[in-house]
Amino acid sequence: MTRSVRSVLVCLLPVVTGLWVAGTEFGGRLVPWRPAMVDLGVYLDAARVLLAGGDFYALAGRLQFLYPPLAAVLSVPLTLLPTALVEIGWTAAGVLALLAVLHRVGLRGWVLSLATTASLFVEPVRQTLGFGQVGIFLVALVVLDLVPGPRLLARRVLPEGFWTALAACIKLTPALFVVYLLLVRRRRAFVTAVVSAVVLTLAAAVFAPRQSYGFWTRLAHGDTGLGGSIVYFTNQSVLADVIRVLGFSTGATLLGLVLSAAIAALGVWAAVLWHRRGEVALAVMLGGVATLLASPVSWLHHFVWVVPLAVVLVLDLLPFPARPRLPEWFSVLGLLFCGWVAVEPFKNLPNSGDVELTWNAGQNLLASGTLLIGVVFLAAAVVVARGRAPLTSAPAGPAAPVADRTGARTPAHTLREARR
């Protein structure tokens, strides 16, 4: 069986399942094809308004376009195709992107196929497909850019840092990884990311100058465009938790933003420490968790990061003798975070119409579980990495240096990805 045929067989079940999930989620229909992909509809509406010379930050419908201008510009080619074809292609591309992410962090063959298929039913992924959201693509851009591992092509098409910059220009939160690149001294990748982000932002301004000016000036004044909907229960960010407890006030907003900055710093610290220990995949996952908790707005479907994070942690729990090992309690803690997000224990809380502002202490505590477990996990990552006992690894002995994909020389016993 040729490699191409094997690849098609690996992808077939996840893609077919993904189309079923996207087509039937939120009351959609598979046959005839009538999905409820409202967010993809917003992207297309924004692109059409851009082509008509209008302001895509003031759409006619209830749902508004909230992303940076580049996201609207990149959506323009999609308006040239039939909507059904765009929806099907978007879904298939999202599933393939998730396959690529799980392949990069260590899965192969039928295990990759089945694991990806199962992950399509995890709440954030299922909702992302149902909404036609961009979240899977953002995770894929960062992971495939920064995490070493097997590639389809022998060499990079574009330098490290570019795809991370693109993700940040589509949705701002991946910009945290630019700071990560600086602190782990990947200077070339850092410069590439910064220059690419500037060029991409200026390019968007050429196509949408008025909208770009309006977006960046509003953002500079702290306007996210969400208004009161920030307290909706599926927003699992620290800012939302603070406002749900304290109500809308300047003090509550400032406290939420300060805590957001602190969590972002904690996440970057954890990511940098694990990167220096050679655990790049785990480092990037920790950065992803930090972006979710620190962002002012993190809807449940943004938490696609829990899928590759769970894979990284489960692989470390497997009894492979030649593999560096995380402490079991730490892996279990991380999987608890992933499981909490997947199960969504807070989903039956009273919600909508700002009723979240009337929750009692127990309800607020339940709704804050994602934040609390996530922060404990990030803090534990710092404690373990700063360390105490070294990670369990192969028996002591001479280790030949292995070159990672950037040319840096790293001990073979600490660079898991080089062996896979």
- Percent of the chain scored above 90 by pLDDT? 75
Task: Say yes or no to pLDDT of 284 above 50.
Answer: yes
Task: Say yes or no to pLDDT of 398 above 70.
Answer: no
Task: Say yes or no to pLDDT of 217 above 80.
Answer: yes
The tokens describing 72, both together, are: 């609207």
Task: Say yes or no to pLDDT of 376 above 50.
Answer: yes
Task: Say yes or no to pLDDT of 324 above 90.
Answer: no
* Residue 161 per-residue DSSP state: T
The owner of tokens 């579980």 is: 369
d(C-alpha 364, C-alpha 231), whole Å: 11
d(C-alpha 215, C-alpha 193), whole Å: 21
| pLDDT tens, position by position, 102-120 | 999 999 999 999 999 999 9
Across 327-350, average pLDDT: 94
| pLDDT tens, position by position, 130-164 | 999 999 999 999 999 999 988 777 778 899 999 99
Stronger pLDDT, 84 or 154, i.e. the higher one: 84
Q: What pLDDT, on a 0 to 100 scale, did the predictor assign at position 417?
A: 38
| pLDDT tens, position by position, 10-21 | 999 999 999 999
pLDDT-based confidence at residue 219 (cuts at 50, 70, 90): confident
Task: Give a yes or no: residue 53 inside a domain.
Answer: no
Task: Give a yes or no: residue 19 inside a domain.
Answer: no
Task: Say yes or no to pLDDT of 404 above 70.
Answer: no
Task: Give a yes or no: residue 278 inside a domain.
Answer: yes
Task: Give a yes or no: residue 214 inside a domain.
Answer: no
Task: Say yes or no to pLDDT of 195 above 60.
Answer: yes
Q: What pLDDT, on a 0 to 100 scale, did the predictor assign at position 409?
A: 37
DSSP string of 84-143, one letter each residue: HHHHHHHHHHHHHHHHHHHHHTT--HHHHHHHHHHHTTSHHHHHHHHHT-SHHHHHHHHH
Task: Give a yes or no: residue 327 inside a domain.
Answer: yes
Q: Is 157 helix (H, G, I), strand (E, B) or coil?
A: coil
Q: What pLDDT, on a 0 to 100 scale, did the predictor assign at position 325?
A: 76
- Percent of the chain scored above 70 by pLDDT? 90
Task: Give a yes or no: residue 373 inside a domain.
Answer: yes
The tokens describing 268, both together, are: 């970057």
Domain count, the chain: 1
Q: Whats the size of the chain, residue-wise?
A: 420
- Rounded to 10°, the helix 369-386/280-294 angle is 150
d(C-alpha 78, C-alpha 184), whole Å: 37
The tokens describing 224, both together, are: 């996210």
d(C-alpha 83, C-alpha 299), whole Å: 25
The owner of tokens 């070294």 is: 390
Radius of gyration of the chain (CA): 21
> Hey, how many other C-beta atoms are within 10 angstroms of the C-beta on 217?
10
Phi-psi region of 53 (alpha: psi -120 to 50; beta: other; left: phi over 0): left
Across 309-325, average pLDDT: 82
Q: What pLDDT, on a 0 to 100 scale, did the predictor assign at position 101?
A: 97
Q: What pLDDT, on a 0 to 100 scale, did the predictor assign at position 405?
A: 36
Task: Give a yes or no: residue 270 inside a domain.
Answer: yes
- Rounded to 10°, the helix 280-294/250-276 angle is 180
Q: Is 401 helix (H, G, I), strand (E, B) or coil?
A: strand
* Residue 275 per-residue DSSP state: H
| pLDDT tens, position by position, 26-71 | 988 999 999 999 999 999 999 999 999 999 998 987 888 999 999 9
DSSP string of 316-373, one letter each residue: HHS--TTS-B--HHHHHHHHHHHHHHHH-TTTTS--STTGGGG--HHHHHHHTHHHHH
Lowest mean pLDDT among 137-146, 151-160, 166-175, 288-297: 151-160
pTM metric for this prediction? 0.88
Note down the domain range covering 263: 225-388
Task: Give a yes or no: residue 68 inside a domain.
Answer: no
Q: Which parts of 171-322 fold into alpha helices (H)?
A: 176-183, 187-207, 209-220, 238-246, 250-276, 280-294, 306-317
